[in-house]
């Protein structure tokens, strides 16, 4: 059997999955922008998760006041200076990342599975299911996200939770459209039809055959989304419609710090840069993943 | 012939694909992918279906396995209408298919074991019996058991096609539809896969509908052969009869375009010109006999009347004005 001898050579104890990952990681490492993105994202995640241990003044995250140390410029003692009630801005930024990531996890955790599910159904079944789902999606796509979020949070009372709900309501449709397009291309793949002939259920075909082939496109999209969700969340709270004081939210910090510009610039500029840092990280990482996985997400 | 009910009966099958245009996707015409096709496959038989690209072979295969419905006509499996059987587990279990392109017929995200266990799971095989059965299937297609854990990207085309064959065999079907199972493979690998298919058929007592664009490929292992042109059968008969006495000019052309190995073989071949030109679009089938635009023997009636599918020998039929009516001996 000559065609047997052609299997790729490798150390026998190494699993094929493992090998594929190593090859991917090698290619990823050669893309400096993507590596920079990964470093930024890791820093943000470490900051958020480790805030209680990393923050020099964890009490600054709350209603703590220290009028003796108001408006201190950045120093070794207060890396990012202090705010108008004497709280350590650096500590608040670390906690701020917690809020940002909570927002990302909540919004994407809610909207992505929902959007993906609808996209799968519309793309696979076609017919009236497709028509209904895709027309609703179109309506949501036609409304600018921030405007809608403003309207919803203004109608409900402004709070972090309502802000998150508002953004989630706006987010699923992008995933529906993306997955719909992907599934449309996949549903006539021979392996899908082979599964049908093998007697597989629709649930099996949707979730075991098609969905795994959407994972790369979803992970790229989710990574890029994370940056935008942080931006919109910060925008909402900057306008006072998102997280409310004393929640250490980066957008809120920029807004309240702006009252003391330009003298006490650190109170708003440094949290602003922190937002930028996170957005940049997720975008660079997402772009890198997109190149690596060779998918189209727009 | 015995009076046993054929395994598969295809009766006057037609499949039209609408051609849509414009803003409102109005139907402006139809592709006649299959047009009045009829044949039987008997138990234990290897039935060859030959035809150029676009002649409707895959469309027919998809209808036979129940992936698509027909526009009209009927398919019976052991006497029962496939349309009513379609989608039922029982039918699925008895008719399986191997696709043309091994590259896309295995899910890139699923291991060979996962792929092979799908038909088993969905046909009520006990979970504990799945792993041993997967091993058995790999052995049947001459792949080592270690292939369970591999992913399609690690396999060669021939190995992928073996896995696809194993998947089709998993639920012990009676009829295997093989849609150009070897046309994407190198010639040497092709021979091995065909050898494997023949061995399996003998061991498991299967019937095959073997589809290929290459008529000569099927000479050595098919029982009967049908030649398809633009959705219609133009010749059908026992393989030996079709190769020794091809009736239709198209069949003659296909056979004579096969390179000859020896002088004697050349002397045996019918002296006809090779087929000229390209196959017309099935969206725009020529009137009369659809082959007349390329036929070296075409005369007046060919442009006007579609010839009937007439008997020209024992179970040998052709659709050509050179054979005006049943001339059975
Ligand atoms: N889903 C479809 N919609 C519209 N037209 C189709 C569809 N499927 C097939 N056709 C058309 O029907 C005709 C027959 O196609 P089919 O795939 O059955 O040919 P084939 O003999 O298998 O060719 P090949 O050797 O290239 O595989 C072609 O003209 C094709 O364009
Ligand atoms: Mg085909």
* CATH number, domain with residue A223: 1.10.3720.10
- Of A63-72, A159-168, B9-18, B299-308, the least confident: A63-72
Strands (E), chain B: 8-21, 26-41, 46-51, 72-77, 80-81, 95-98, 175-179, 207-212, 224-229, 232-238, 309-313, 316-319
**Token pair 């046309």 is at which residue?**
B183
In a domain, A32, yes or no: yes
B142 contacts chain A (CB < 8 A) = yes
Q: What are phi and psi of B208, to 5 degrees?
A: -120, 140
Q: Which residues of A8-41 are buried (b: 16+ CB within 10 A; e: fewer)?
A: eeeeeeeebeeeeeeeeeeebeebeebeebbebb
The answer to whether B223 and B239 are in contact (CB under 8 A) is yes
B59: Cβ below 6 Å to ligand 1? yes
B94 contacts chain A (CB < 8 A) = no
Mean pLDDT of the region B46-72 = 91
In a domain, A69, yes or no: no
Going by C-beta distance under 8 Å and a sequence separation of 6 or more, which residues neighbour residue B110? A208, A209, A212, B151
In a domain, A68, yes or no: no
pLDDT tens per residue across span B201-239: 999 999 999 999 989 889 999 999 999 999 999 999 999
Q: What DSSP string runs through B25-62?
A: TEEEEEEEEEEEEEEEE-TT-EEEEEE-TTSSHHHHHH
The pLDDT assigned to B85 comes to 67
A53 CA to chain B: closest CA distance, Å? 40
Point out which residues pair with B29 in neighbouring strands.
B19
Reported residue count of chain B is 329
Give the count of domains, chain A.
1
- Which of B107, B111, B137 best probes binding to A when mutated, by most A CB atoms within 10 angstroms? B107
Protein residue with least CA distance to atom 24, ligand 1:
B53
The whole-angstrom separation of Cα B187 and Cα A48 is 60
The answer to whether B101 contacts A190, with C-beta atoms less than 8 Å apart, is yes
The whole-angstrom separation of Cα B143 and Cα B163 is 8
Q: How far apart are the first and last CA of chain B?
A: 17
> In this predicted model, which residue has the larger pLDDT, B136 or B327?
B136
Q: What are phi and psi of B111, to 5 degrees?
A: -70, 165
The pLDDT assigned to A267 comes to 79
The pLDDT assigned to B134 comes to 95
- Positions in chain A whose pLDDT score sits under 70: 1-14, 16, 298
The pLDDT assigned to B261 comes to 58
pLDDT tens per residue across span A81-112: 788 777 888 888 899 899 899 999 999 999 99
pLDDT tens per residue across span B145-196: 999 999 998 999 999 999 999 999 998 999 999 999 998 888 889 999 999 9
Three-state secondary structure call for residue A168: helix
Looking from the CA of residue B68, the nearest atom of ligand 1 is 1
| Residue of A241, A223, A228, A217 lying closest to A282 (CA atoms) | A223
**Domain B8-319: CATH superfamily, name plus number:** P-loop containing nucleotide triphosphate hydrolases (3.40.50.300)
List the domain range (segments joined by +) for residue A220: 24-57+81-293
The pLDDT assigned to B263 comes to 61
In a domain, A75, yes or no: no
The answer to whether A4 contacts B96, with C-beta atoms less than 8 Å apart, is no
Three-state secondary structure call for residue B284: coil
In a domain, A10, yes or no: no
Question: Which candidate from A3, A196, A200 shows the least CB-CB separation from B67?
Answer: A196
H-only helix segments in chain A: 16-29, 32-54, 89-125, 127-142, 145-155, 160-186, 190-197, 202-204, 215-238, 250-257, 266-293
Q: How many Cβ atoms from other residues are within 10 Å of residue B72's Cβ? A: 12
Rounded alpha-carbon distances, angstroms, from residue A131 to A119, A122, A143: 12, 8, 19
pLDDT of residue B328 exceeding 60, the answer is no
The pLDDT assigned to A82 comes to 81
The answer to whether A190 contacts B99, with C-beta atoms less than 8 Å apart, is yes
In a domain, A147, yes or no: yes
Q: What are phi and psi of B41, to 5 degrees?
A: -120, 125
Mean pLDDT of the region B66-95 = 81
In a domain, A276, yes or no: yes
Pairing of β B46-51 and β B224-229: parallel
The pLDDT assigned to B124 comes to 86
* Interfacial A residues in 2-61 facing B (CB < 8 Å): 2-4, 6-8, 15-17, 20
- Of A248-262, B82-96, B137-151, the least confident: B82-96
Which of B28, B37, B58, B98 most suits a substitution to test ligand 1, by most atoms within 8 Å of the C-beta? B58
Distance B15 CA to ligand 1 centre (A): 10
In a domain, A140, yes or no: yes
pLDDT tens per residue across span B256-289: 765 555 666 555 555 555 677 788 888 888 888 9
- Of A173-187, B38-52, B83-97, B174-188, the least confident: B83-97
């Amino acid at each position: 059997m000559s065609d047997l001898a052609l299997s790729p050579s490798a150390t026998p104890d190494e699993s094929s999955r493992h090998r594929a990952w190593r090859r991917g990681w090698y290619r990823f490492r050669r893309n400096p922008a993507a590596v920079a993105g990964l470093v930024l994202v890791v820093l943000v995640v470490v900051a958020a998760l480790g805030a209680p241990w990393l923050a020099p003044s964890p009490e600054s995250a709350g209603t703590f006041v220290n009028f003796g140390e108001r408006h201190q410029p950045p120093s070794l003692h207060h890396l990012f200076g202090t705010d108008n009630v004497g709280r350590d801005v650096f500590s608040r930024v670390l906690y701020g990342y917690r809020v940002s990531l909570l927002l990302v996890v909540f919004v994407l955790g809610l909207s992505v599975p929902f959007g993906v599910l609808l996209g799968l159904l519309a793309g696979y079944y076609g017919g009236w299911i497709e028509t209904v789902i895709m027309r609703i999606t179109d309506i949501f796509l036609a409304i600018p996200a921030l405007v809608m979020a403003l309207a919803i949070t203004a109608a409900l009372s402004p709070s972090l939770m309502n802000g998150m709900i508002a953004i989630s309501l706006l987010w699923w449709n992008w995933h529906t459209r993306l997955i719909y397009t992907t599934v449309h291309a996949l549903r006539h793949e021979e392996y899908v039809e082979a599964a049908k002939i093998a007697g597989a259920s629709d649930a099996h075909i949707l979730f075991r055959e098609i969905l795994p082939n959407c994972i790369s496109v979803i992970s790229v999209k989710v990574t890029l989304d994370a940056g935008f969700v942080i931006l919109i969340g910060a925008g909402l709270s900057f306008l006072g419609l998102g997280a409310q004081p004393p929640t250490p939210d980066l957008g809120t910090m920029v807004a309240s710090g702006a009252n003391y510009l330009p003298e006490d610039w650190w109170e708003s500029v440094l949290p602003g840069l922190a937002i930028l840092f996170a957005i940049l990280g997720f975008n660079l990482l997402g772009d890198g993943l997109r190149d690596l996985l060779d998918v189209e997400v727009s | 012939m015995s009076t046993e009910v054929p395994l598969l009966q295809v009766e006057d099958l037609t499949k039209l694909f609408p051609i849509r245009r414009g803003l409102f996707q109005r139907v402006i015409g139809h592709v006649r992918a299959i047009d009045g096709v009829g044949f039987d496959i008997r138990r234990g038989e290897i039935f060859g279906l030959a035809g150029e690209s676009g002649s409707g072979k895959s469309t027919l295969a998809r209808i036979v396995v129940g992936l698509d419905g027909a526009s009209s006509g009927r398919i019976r499996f052991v006497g029962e209408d496939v349309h009513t059987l379609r989608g039922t587990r029982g039918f699925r279990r008895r008719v399986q298919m191997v696709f043309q392109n091994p590259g896309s017929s295995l899910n890139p995200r699923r291991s060979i074991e996962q792929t092979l266990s799908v038909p088993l799971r969905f046909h009520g095989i006990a979970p504990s019996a799945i792993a041993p059965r997967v091993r058995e299937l790999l052995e049947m297609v001459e792949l080592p058991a270690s292939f369970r854990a591999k992913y399609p990207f690690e396999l060669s085309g021939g190995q992928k096609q073996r896995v696809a064959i194993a998947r089709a065999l998993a639920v012990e079907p009676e009829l295997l539809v093989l849609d150009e199972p070897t046309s994407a493979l190198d010639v040497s690998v092709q021979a091995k896969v065909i050898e494997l298919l023949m061995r399996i058929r003998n061991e498991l007592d299967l019937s095959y509908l073997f589809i290929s664009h290459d008529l000569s490929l099927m000479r050595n292992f098919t029982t009967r052969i049908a030649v398809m042109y633009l959705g219609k059968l133009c010749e059908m008969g026992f393989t030996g009869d079709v190769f020794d006495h091809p009736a239709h000019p198209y069949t003659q052309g296909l056979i004579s375009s096969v390179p000859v190995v020896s002088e004697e073989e050349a002397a045996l071949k019918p002296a006809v010109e090779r087929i000229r030109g390209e196959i017309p679009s099935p969206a725009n089938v020529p009137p009369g006999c659809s082959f007349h635009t390329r036929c070296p023997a075409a005369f007046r009636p060919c442009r006007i009347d579609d010839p009937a599918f007439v008997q020209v020998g024992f179970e040998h039929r052709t659709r050509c004005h050179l054979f005006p009516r049943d001339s059975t001996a």
